Amino acid sequence: MAELLQFVFSGLTVGAIYALVALGFTLIYKASDIINFAQGEFVMLGGMITVFAAIAGVPLPLAALLAVIATTAIGLALHRFAIAPARGASPVALIMITIGASIFLRGTAQIIFDRRFHSLPSLFGNDPIQFGGAAILPQSLVVLASATVIVILLWLFIDRTFLGKAVIATAANRLAARLIGIDTRRIVDLSFALSAAIGAIAGVVITPIALTSYDVGTLLALKGFAAAMLGGIGSAPGAVVGGLLIGMFEALAAGYLSSNYKDAVAFLIILVVLIFIPQGLFGRAKIERV
């Protein structure tokens, strides 16, 4: 029993990481129908900028703030300079642009930072919390809490503020939104900026557990994306649930089946979801079929 609980804790730890990444995907998709493959790089930048700012002597909280601000700016720039000029392009083209951006960011990070692994100190120390015979790190709870807080904030934003409703309007029908006076371009700007911020925050809280390096973005993006798809892309709670589920499946697979194929779990899930429930667990059946 304690064994199963430990697997669950592991699943929650990893799943919370995926959930945070998935939230970033979801937000941009909600506002603009774009899948942003550079989301993983936002997470990487959050972690790496914090690490290097701290090495340069900036106090840690300030370094983290700096990282979030810088990454938000980069997210904004991504939309302004790479996506917006390509308005009207096919989904293929937009995907290629975000993939190109992700490769660009990764390549540049390699040069500006370095190629080694780095860590950050945990918020509440490294002593594990014992519960029911299993141990969970305090930082895992921080990651889970962050995901929860962000989901709540997002929900409040979408549901309670005018801007939030403008985001929904833009996603539902761009032309109509423009017609009633919403500056759709600014809205998408905002969604990219917010996603980048979420990604950066994720990077900062994840690094004490998962470490960071210039290329953590790729795998995180893939898994985070699988999570978003599982939950139903466009649904924020779905992203969190999807992330936790994938984390759980991975942990259980590693514990009970073969740890070799743990990575395959997420990608198998992508295929299964697409074939049987393309709209995901919480999404609406808006997928065009031919």
Question: Hey, which residues between 198 and 227 contact another protein (CB under 8 A)?
Answer: 206, 209-211, 213, 215-216, 218-219, 222, 225-226
Determine the Cα–Cα distance for residues 35 and 101; give it in Å rounded to an integer.
12
Stretch touching another protein by CB under 8 A, among 58-66, 167-175, 181-189, 265-273:
265-273
Which residues between 151 and 180 bind another protein (CB under 8 A)?
none
Handedness of CA 216, 26, 229, 138 (dihedral sign): positive
Cα 165–chain centre separation: 22
The residue among 41 and 197 lying less far from another protein, judged by its C-beta, is 41
Which of the residues 221 through 260 are near another protein (CB under 8 A)? Answer: 222, 225-226, 229, 251-252, 254-255, 259-260
Q: Does 56 bind another protein (CB under 8 A)?
A: no
H helices present in the chain, as ranges: 2-32, 39-55, 60-77, 91-112, 138-160, 162-172, 174-179, 184-210, 216-231, 236-256, 262-276
**By CB under 8 A, what part of segment 81-120 binds another protein?**
82, 85-86, 89-97, 99-108, 110-111, 115-119
- Beta-carbon contacts of residue 254 (< 8 Å; ≥ 6 apart): 7, 10, 262
CB of 167 closer than 8 Å to CB of 188: no
Residue 65 in the binding site for another protein (CB under 8 A)? no
Nearer to another protein, 66 or 277 (CB): 277
Segment 3 to 32, residues that bind another protein, using CB under 8 A: 3, 6-7, 9-10, 13-14, 17
Answer for the pair 214, 81: CB distance below 8 angstroms, yes or no.
Answer: no
Closest contact distance (angstroms) between CB of 33 and another protein is 9
Q: Specify the residue, 175 or 275, whose C-beta has the smaller distance to another protein.
A: 275
Q: Report the distance separating Cα 24 and Cα 26, nearest Å.
A: 5
Taking the complex as a whole, the smallest distance from the CB of residue 203 to another protein amounts, in Å, to 13
According to DSSP, residue 78 is labeled I
Q: In whole angstroms, how close is the CB of 161 to another protein at the nearest point?
A: 29
